[in-house]
Chains A and B, each alone.
Chain A
Amino acid sequence: MIGFWDILDRSENSSLIKEKQFDQQLGRVAKQLVEKYEIKYDPKQVVPADDNLADRVYQAGLDLFLKIGVFCRDTGRVMKFTREEVEWALRYAPTTVTYGQGRDAATMSYRSVEDMKPPFCLMTPVGTPVAEERFVPMVQSYVQEPLAQTFSSAFSQTVHGRPIKSGTPQEVEAAIWNVIKLREAARAAGRPHIGIHNLISNAERTDAMLAAMQAEFGAQPNDGLCIAAIAELKIDYERLKKVVFLRHSGHNKYGLYGPLMGGYAGGPEATAIVHVAHHFLGLLVFEVQWHCGFPLHIHYGCNTTRELLWLISITAQALSRHTHLLITANTFAAAGPCTEMVAYEIICNALTTTVSGADIDLAAVARNRHPERASGMEARMGAEAGHLAARQRITREQANEMVKQILIQYEHKFGDPPLGKRFDECYDLDTIQPTQEYLDLYEQIKEKLTKFELDYSLLL
């Protein structure tokens, strides 16, 4: 057994290494393991149905974690772990996590590959920048979705008219404001006690986050926070401070990992095994209950390309086949709201994720960088596709054929994806409902997808 304070000891006493050397080692070892385990990305098998490949990706990810370890930026040391420690942590990892209270309570539990159980649906604009006056309406558009089981935050560009600057007193004020407003959005949606999986998304510093996590501001005991790895297998003391607080407060916590395909690890194969390794980091170092992955394309800033869908699928299958970890994939689409492309991207991602044994976190759109470009409709389209995948008992082979046909509709547009509409252009701000234009677009998409064997009648 390894405890949190053992981890801290390791961060203070293990081998010293330069960060650049760590990065180089990561790329080198990942490449060696790709060769050793003969891991090969096949663009024709976007959702692979090769169990043996998934098993090799898992073993490579575990080997990588044991060989490379975790780099602590504050001490410049690399923490190493033994196979026994990882196996012990996996054995006792949580099998469920519950968010929300009363009728709004929802429980996430382990999913197997091709599980018939519908995915757990987390809905969030993933910190999309929005004007202060539209923060609650935008968030409400997610919470009110019937398939939403938890939700999270947009990013208000100001609080009380002032911009939020990290590390300043305004950041503490903003974090508290964020919690108050998230709970207000839940009440406005008629779901007052629904869980918030990430209470604070407008503060970087730990002090601001912890100041805001109070019951009087609207935080429930089982709301939570994410703890994100800085980059490929790196942490710092800011993250470990959150771990200490959450150990005492009892709030839920999850790990957030966004390896870049094309980045330090290399191509899709190497990034896949680094992504698997991140889950061990989350479990051992952050002691998280569940895991959220958002691997991204280094140039396109999304995870709906062919390579990224493969990566999401194979890592989910690898983890689902070998552990009972609670894993999710956070969709990042290149196109913006109210476009055909965003619908196709999100549906592809949801189908891929669901049949591969993971839950779904929906959704960052317009590459998560354009202000006001996000709405609950994108989350609805993804959640419905995820539910359909389970209800229709879609296999990986079937999903692969569907996804490939859908990919053809949009993959030529990554160089210049449509920005789409602003939230106030695709939602009625009085009723917080999508415009007829957006509803019609979704109906047209569904009609087209029916031809690809997706049976939307099962949602009725």
Chain B
Amino acid sequence: MVKILLKFGSNDKYRRNLRAMKGNATVVKKNETMSLSFEKMADATVKGDEKECVSLAQKTMTMGADPFEAIQKGFALGMRIIGGKFAKLECFLPEVLLAADAMNAAVEVLKPHLIQRTDGGSFGSVIIGTIHGDVHDLGKNIVKVMLEASGFTLYDLGNDVSVHRFIEKADEVGADIIAASALMTTTMAHMPDIDRMLKELGTRDKYLVMLGGAPVIAEWAREIGADGYGEDAAEAVENAKELMRKKKGADVS
């Protein structure tokens, strides 16, 4: 029997991040001679190396390792690292998007093996889009990528999305969160309709509503009935997690 070590490299930053993720697990499988580490997964994700991410995901399955752990402690960790770098502008959006593509490619490989998990492997599902009349979607796209990296399942409706379309999709997939973004003061006036329409339909309690975007401030979001708000992508993710904690009554960090 050969140990397949999910081991740490020499890089201190990775060590700290990995420790934070409680990732010092060891996976053991018979008749294998190769080692596989969360660090490699995170590193390949940070580099946006899609080919390497897919290869590591395939190896994860070949070795019978836990795909959920591989995502959370490997690929998603890489996304969080690059998200942290982006927050400090040590890297820029193209690198974040490349990393997201690489992680998503790995998740595609692992996804079929995740289905059997009873918890589904997701922190929650989010319907996301830019509000009616607004064609600006860069901010929404960043939030989407960061939520996905944090383990949420995303349904992206794109831009110029009517309020009833948000609700229709949420009903269809049984979403947890409806997240809407606006860049223009002229379009944010549609946002209060989300809360209002959900109440009219008697389904307000089914969903958490999150708002964000350049002209949207926390105070106003609260006033119009939102449950959560994101000043930026990082805050949106933290608040989404917090909302899900409260909803599920469980720790999803």
Contact = CB atoms under 8 A, between A and B. Distances in A.
Contacts of B220: 371
B190 interface: yes
A5 to B, nearest CB: 24
Contacts of B134: 166, 204
Given A202-B186, A369-B215, A369-B217, A166 B93 contact: no
A132 to B, nearest CB: 13
Interface in A26-77: 27-28, 31, 73
B97 A163 contact: no
B132 interface: yes
A419 to B, nearest CB: 10
Residue picked from A155, A163, A299, most chain B C-beta under 10 Å: A299
A230 B87 CA distance: 24
Contacts of B98: 24
A171 B134 CA distance: 14
A231 interface: yes
B94 A166 contact: no
Interface residues of B, number: 28
Interface string A384-410: 000000000000000000000000000
Interface string B130-156: 001111111000000000000000000
Residue picked from A164, A166, A298, most chain B C-beta under 10 Å: A166
Contact of A28 (B93, B94, B132, B215): B94
Given A204-B133, A369-B215, A166 B184 contact: yes
B52 interface: no
A164 B97 contact: no
Interface string B215-238: 111001000000000001000000
Contact of A155 (B93, B135, B137, B186): B186
Nearest to B92: A266
B190 A165 contact: yes
B201 interface: no
Contacts of A171: 186
B229 to A, nearest CB: 12
Interface residues of A, number: 39
A205 interface: yes
A301 B93 CA distance: 15
A265 B200 CA distance: 43
B190 A166 contact: yes
Residue picked from B87, B97, B135, B214, most chain A C-beta under 10 Å: B135
Interface of A: 23-24, 27-28, 31, 73, 127, 129, 155, 163-167, 171, 202-205, 230-231, 236, 238, 260, 262-267, 270, 298-299, 301, 367-371
Given A171-B186, A203-B186, A369-B217, 16 more contacts: A24-B98, A164-B186, A166-B132, A166-B186, A167-B133, A204-B134, A230-B135, A262-B92, A263-B92, A264-B94, A266-B92, A267-B89, A299-B232, A368-B214, A369-B214, A371-B217
Interface of B: 86-87, 89, 92-94, 97-98, 132-138, 184-187, 189-190, 192, 214-217, 220, 232
A-B pairs with the 4 shortest C-beta distances?
Answer: A166-B133, A27-B94, A266-B92, A163-B189
